[in-house]
Amino acid sequence: MIEADAVSWRYGANPVVDGVGVVARPGRVLGLIGPNGSGKTTLLRLLHGALRSPTGRVTVDGDTLASLSPRESARRMAVLVQETTGETALTVAEMVLLGRGPHLSTFQRAGATDHEVAARCLSRVGAAHLAARRFAGLSGGERQRVLIARALAQEATHLLLDEPTNHLDIRYQHEILRLVRGLGTCSIVVLHDLNLAARYCDADQHRPDRLADDNRTRAAIWT
């Protein structure tokens, strides 16, 4: 479970997130929806510790983010951000294998089990055929699927995805969100599309800062 209480962030004098509370429960998908510039990505960064709120606190399974080492945080939370990884000579298989880092000691090399997990995650996102390709040579949609596979390879209990459907055609948008929905993890997803949020995010009638369940748009938090 990820819980945030009264978290805030401002850029200069501009408040972007102001006293927001979030509860993301195990086995459920929480959607953060809203227009560009509304603070969705900033809130997600607060939830996984890329930004530290000057107010309130964020906990993961009862432990504050500040108390977790980077390795322990990565074992609990897999994060997909919007930023590109830039040019790299890595193959797709090597890129996904990076997701196994939190499970390896400093000088430990990836073993057979790690390679099997990476291959399985590539298959789950429909990208097994890309394994030998250079990551830098992929299309935007192909890169997105590979990065999702890398996040899955962490085998974390919490999954935080910032616009995971970017650059994907409609088929893969549904396939990826269906996959996230079926993982059974505590998942938080930033989305623009209300129809996708309605279909794949969970409703929660106990949170006043979410949309009401009107059988079309199941509640997702507005930021």
Report CA-CA distances (Å) from 162 to 23, 94, 111, 155, 198: 17, 22, 30, 18, 17
Return the pLDDT at 88.
80
Q: How many CB atoms lie within 10 A of CB 210?
A: 22
| pTM recorded for the entire structure | 0.81
Q: Is the pLDDT of residue 212 over 70?
A: no
Return the pLDDT at 182.
85
H-run or E-run covering 177:
helix 170-182
Contacts of 137 (CB under 8 A, 6+ apart): none
Helix axes 170-182, 140-153, angle to 10 degrees: 10
Distance of CA 158 to the CA centre of its chain: 8
Return the pLDDT at 223.
37
Q: Is the pLDDT of residue 45 over 60?
A: yes
Q: Is the pLDDT of residue 205 over 80?
A: no
- Pairing assessment for the beta strands 63-64 and 57-60 based on DSSP bridges: antiparallel
- Pairing assessment for the beta strands 57-60 and 2-11 based on DSSP bridges: antiparallel
> Taking the domains of the chain in order of start, what are their residue ranges?
2-222
Beta carbons of 222 and 210 less than 8 angstroms apart: yes
pLDDT tens readout for residues 73-84? 998 999 988 766
Looking at residue 121, what DSSP letter applies? H
Q: Is the pLDDT of residue 116 over 50?
A: yes
Q: Which CATH class is domain 2-222?
A: alpha beta
Q: Is the pLDDT of residue 23 over 60?
A: yes
Return the pLDDT at 95.
94
> Rounded to whole angstroms, how far apart are CA atoms 39 and 137?
32
- Please compute, for residue 113, the number of CA atoms within 13 A of its CA located in the half-sphere on the CB side: 6
> Quick one: which of 24, 20, 10, 2 has its CA closest to 56?
20
